[in-house]
A = this chain, B = another copy of it.
Amino acid sequence: MTTKTIPELRQYYERKFDKHCLSIEAPLEMVKPMLYSLKNGGKRLRPLMVLLVIDIFEQANLKDGLSTAFALEYIHTYSLIHDDLPAMDNDDLRRGQPTNHVQFDEATAILAGDALLTDAFALIAQEAKLKPRQRLKLIELLSRSAGSTGMVAGQLFDIRAENQTLTIEALKNIHRLKTGRLFSYACQAGAIISDASDKELKLIDEFAQAFGLAYQIHNDLQDVLLDSQSTGKEEHGDESLHKATYPSLLGVDGAKAALEAEIETMHQVIFRLTKETRKDFNRLIAFLEYLNIQVKEQKA
């Protein structure tokens, strides 16, 4: 087995995902709004996490993880379509393109999201390359990570927190649910496909939670430091909704310190993971580089 870099994994993923998109069997009117958002050039962070963890464990083939990676991309994409709706964050632009409900209409956007969410589960259930036990574990965890105890609850709390004064702990809880749980799913899915132990799964969850917070703090900092052009979002999206952010609660320097603390946690968990598995989990740090998150000198 050869180890792959994230750009190499991405190239592999994009090729397979393009092929997958051509194979979707639904009626054209239904497929069009689904593909519009699926192919709207995301960073493919979550699918790449599935694949990198598989590549690190060296127990399964990358292709064993593709259906799960696609399913995760479906779920992430549906969540963006619904989050952008007028009744939610009311965003007209996503990655510099019109959002789904602007390009089509609200009803279509709601339904395209519903279809992506629903279809995700058949992708995993029918994956003959995975053992039935693995498929069931992947489905149950995906449902729990994305549903009423996970991402959707995070989105509800996020909406309800508009114009509210939040503590940093309340903000962390929103991000843990809203973005952290899917990152954690991505990493754990790669581990489940690699037949990892429960102890390994738990460590991987810890890593992903720290990564998720780092990702969010970095995003918040970028929103403060960059203008709308380079983020591809509408200007000051969070601010116009009066949403709490790390910099608004901790100041820019406080947010930077919080980011470094999460990165430090990532390193500590990676150390324990490497010890536990005797596999090169240091490779996970490459995701920080992939996202242009400034990496401090690694401690010896």
Contacts and interface: CB of A to CB of B under 8 A. Distances in A.
Contacts of A108: 156, 159
Interface string A78-94: 10001001011000000
Most central of A118, A133, A139 by chain B CB within 10 Å: A118
A103 interface: no
A251 interface: no
Nearest to A133: B132
A122 interface: yes
A136 B147 contact: no
Contact of A148 (B105, B119, B157): B119
Given A132-B136, A136-B136, A153-B27, A148 B118 contact: yes
A34 B85 CA distance: 20
A121 interface: yes
A121 B143 contact: yes
Contact of A152 (B24, B115, B136, B157): B115
Interface residues of A, number: 51
Nearest to A113: B114
A148 B248 CA distance: 41
Nearest to A177: B27
B156 A140 contact: no
Nearest to A155: B111
A139 B122 contact: yes
| Residue of A27, A85, A110, A135 contacting most chain B CB atoms (<10 Å) | A110
A268 to B, nearest CB: 29
B115 A30 contact: no
A133 B128 CA distance: 12
A87 B115 contact: no
Contact of A159 (B107, B125, B159): B107
A157 B146 CA distance: 27
B29 A160 contact: yes
Nearest to A151: B118
Contacts of A24: 148
Nearest to A79: B114
A14 to B, nearest CB: 22
A147 B118 contact: yes
A106 interface: yes
A149 interface: yes
A148 B29 contact: no
Contact of A30 (B140, B143, B152): B152
A20 B30 CA distance: 34
A115 B147 contact: yes
Interface in A227-279: none
24 contacts: A26-B149, A26-B153, A27-B148, A27-B149, A29-B157, A30-B148, A30-B149, A30-B156, A78-B114, A87-B105, A107-B159, A108-B156, A111-B155, A114-B147, A115-B148, A117-B117, A118-B152, A119-B148, A121-B142, A122-B143, A125-B139, A132-B133, A135-B136, A136-B136
